[in-house]
Structure 1
Amino acid sequence: MKKRKILILCQYFYPEYVSSATLPTQLAEDLTAKGLDVDVLCGWPYEYTNAEYIKNTEQYKGISIRRLSYSRFNNKSKIGRIINFFSLFLKFGLSIPRMLKYDHILVYSNPPILPLIPDILHRVLKKRFSFVVYDIAPDNAIKTGATRPGSMIDKLMRYINKRVYQDADNVIVLGTEMKDYLIKHQISKRPDNIHVIPNWYDTVNLAEDHIYNETFKDCRQKYDKILLYSGNMGQLQDMDTIIDFLKMNKNQMDTLTILCGHGKKFQKVHQAIQQYDISNVKIYDFLTGTDYSDVLKIADVCFASLIKEAMGLGVPSKNYGYLAAKKSLILIMDKSADIVQHVLQYNAGIQVENGDAQTIYDFINSHTAKELQSMGENAYTLFLDEYTRNRNVNKYYELLKEGK
């Protein structure tokens, strides 16, 4: 029986280490192991890799990977970011003839204009495709100020959305709140083709208890409770509530808060720590490898946050790793989010309204480390029930194996 040929289109892929790369990589690995013939067309790994030598094409665990180089203007500049997006899009467009041999195309929402390519193939040649939505554009860009309503980018994305959400066999979102947002704002008029499939976390990096970094090992010995915020500190993350908590908690010297990541609000957090002389906080840039697994291992409680306006536009991906590492969660976001409902149901943490730093302070200081660890065990039960790699990859497989 001929294997079903699947092409994955995405910007980030192996050997990059950010979740936007590891998740498509793991999906491709597992779909291949299940008998599908998977190829990948992706962007060149400029930023998030430690690899010294990278090939244009590569065979990796049975997956054929082709990498496309594109412009490298400053991504912190709006113009630079737009040029880079369109440069990569052009390279994908020039690769259209390579896409004709595939039975199905699975396209990711990064860069946001990328789904237009399989949609064009669908309209011209009836090529079938599925669309994985990590962020809802252009709404997320408008909320962050990256573009404005009525701009060329806004109009272009609205045009693309009108076609893509209608034509895709499957639109895959990370949470029910994202599905509700698409329907409420009439971005999609086909609720029947929207499927909720959460992301996951691979527990291989948590398989051993050993802590490699001596600094983090010392932290675990010195402090009774350790709190962790990791990942993006961007415009959609509520860092203000966390800053208010840090100021409120600055005299609790048996508690350490570790913050690591990047984004537009990173400097704001860093400056607040210095301005208010908060000594029971450590802040780092983006941590990878054993450094990240070390801070995850030593933490008792982990934060995730979204501003009110970000509800439904995406789901913080770090949550899955927190649950897998048996950490209780402090979720600063709307209570209707799937992850909040699950955490409350399993008694694996708390939900906090935006601006309510007092509730965080009370929660941390009214629970012993042992009680927080007990909630962490509940978090792991939740992970096993809802957010394992095998469980959610199987959902993709069921959609793709026969082109449903």
Structure 2
Amino acid sequence: MSKKLFLITEFYDSSQNTTGYLFGKLHEFLSKQKDIDLTLLTKKDEKVLNQPEALYVKGVTFDKKSLVSRSSYELFIGFSFFKNCAQYIKKDDIVFTGTTPILLLIIIHILKKIIGFKWVLLVHDVFPENLVAAKIIKQDNVGYKLLKRVFDSVYASANDIIVIGRDMKDLVYNKTNHNKITVIPSWIDEKDITLQAKNNNSILTELGWQDEQKVVFQFFGNLGRVQGISSLMKAIKLMKRAEDAQFIFIGDGVYVDELKSLISESNNKNIIYYGSVSQENKSIGLNACDISIVTLADGMLGLGVPSKAYYSMAADKLIFTIMDKNSETYQMVEENNIGWVVETSNIEEIAEMLDKAVSDIQTQKYNSPRKTLINKFSSEVAMNKILNIIRTL
């Protein structure tokens, strides 16, 4: 008899965002397993193709820049998921969730005690510790201490925990003292990202940035509070070889207005904010560079692993990593010789490493990021690890 599995996620399609891509791939893989009776429970999105067998909760729009608007959304979507979970999930079923929406975790935690199902938790964000890193709340705040106490218990109640980095495993273990934590990096299918020569890229053609003598650095993805973009901008000002480098920012997020101001103040025509690109044009966006910049601000150790690193590896782009030396991405780039690494705390060192990258890319030998992805971080390997965890339950 097939085991009943509920895949519960806010996003489920690659056209929505990275979470949608990852869960969409996971849904596609799990639906092919004959020993699993899979049900997708997700938020309805009129802009993407609906899964006919799925269960949907109603979605609402909100202002990402407003904490009040976002909090109201979390309450609404959390209640919607609660009704469906309570109605359809039965004893001994298996539930697989991510860490958003955040109230979903409390809901699953409570219903698990009442109903008696098994829970696999995929951790992309560690809450509420990520609020401190984003400077939304202070660590000594009473509200934070209460949230941490609650969510430490919530995370610990999962039967199995999957994390996306070694540094995150250490943090989650300290948070939960859980003995079943597995590291499985984000699963990117390299076939979804096509390779493209620099002189054939439409974005670089539009900008007139096809000079092979200049090195194009790119920041691609979410422009948020925890990306450490201000440190990067300060470092660019200190570069000795700035005239040989160009910087393009592609994406969206709460930090966009601040980024535009920093670019304007720099008075450097070789730094631009391009805007965002559609999911359909992701390959074009990822190929609009020689080097991909992947950053995390100070205080983010263990709290996140930027999926953009794996997307850029699929595009066969070398990675320039700015983050704590104990972080997953820093170690991955260094261990596999696929780019440059520097810590976030020293602006002068970041500038020196940017200059070094400009020189090294013409003279030094690096491994292929795409081949590294295929050999060590393929979606097939990740999916089978997840399947094994589910089957043990």
TM-score, length-normalised on structure 1?
0.87
Partner Cα distance (1:208, 1:144) in 2: 34
Tell me the amino acid that sits aligned with residue 19 of structure 2.
Answer: S
Q: State the shift of 1:282 in Å.
A: 2.5
State percent identity of aligned pairs: 22
Seen in structure 2, the aligned counterparts of structure 1 residues 369 and 67 have a Cα distance that, compared at 3 Å, is farther
Q: Is the 8 A contact 2:316 2:369 kept in 1?
A: yes
Q: CA RMSD in A?
A: 2.5
Residue 201 in 1 paired to residue 188 in 2? Answer: yes
Aligned to 1:216: 204
Q: 2:356 aligns with which of 357, 363, 374?
A: 363
Task: Give the partner amino acid of 1:5.
Answer: K
SS of 2:258's equivalent in the other structure is helix
| CA positional deviation for 1:151 | 5.5
Residue 350 (1) aligns with residue 359 (2):
no
Shift of 1:156: 4.3
How many residue pairs match? The answer is 384
* SS of alignment partner, residue 367 of structure 1: helix
CA contact (8 A) 1:248 1:361 kept: no
Contact 2:184 2:382 in 1 (8 A): yes
Aligned position for 1:128: 118
Moved more, 193-202 or 85-94: 193-202
Q: Cα distance, 1:128 vs. partner?
A: 0.7
Q: Does 1:189 align with 2:188?
A: no
1:338 equivalent in alignment to 2:328: yes
1:197-276 correspondence runs (5 A): 197-207=184-194, 209=196, 214-217=202-205, 219=208, 221-224=210-213, 225-249=215-239, 252-276=242-266
Q: Deviations over 1:82-136 (max 9, x none)?
A: 1100100100111111122772000110112212222223212221111111100
Deviation at 1:370, TM superposition (A): 6.4
Unaligned runs of 5+ in 2: none
- Residues in 2 aligned to 1:151 and 1:9: alpha-carbon distance in whole angstroms: 31
Give the distance between the partners of 1:18 and 1:379, measured in 2 at CA.
22
Partner of 1:146: 136
Task: Give, in angstroms, the shift of residue 67 of structure 1.
Answer: 2.3
User: Take 1:294 and 1:250, find their aligned partners in 2: how far apart are those partners?
Assistant: 30
Mapped partners of 2:59, 2:138: distance in 1 = 26
Bigger shift: residues 215-224 or 121-130: 215-224
> C-alpha deviations, 1:40-87, integer Å up to 9, x for none?
1112337xxx54xx65xx32xxxx322211443433211111110010
Segment drifting more, 289-298 vs 31-40 = 289-298
Residue of structure 1 in register with 2:11 after alignment: 12
Distance across 1 between alignment mates of 2:107 and 2:27: 20
Select between 222-231 and 325-334 the one with higher mean Cα deviation: 222-231
Closer/same/farther in 2, CA of residues 153 and 79 from structure 1, 3 Å limit: farther
- Equivalent residue runs for 1:288-367 within 5 Å: 288-354=278-344, 355=347, 356-367=349-360
- The alignment status of 1:277 with 2:277, answered yes or no, reads no
- 8 Å Cα contact 1:223/1:255 also seen in 2: no
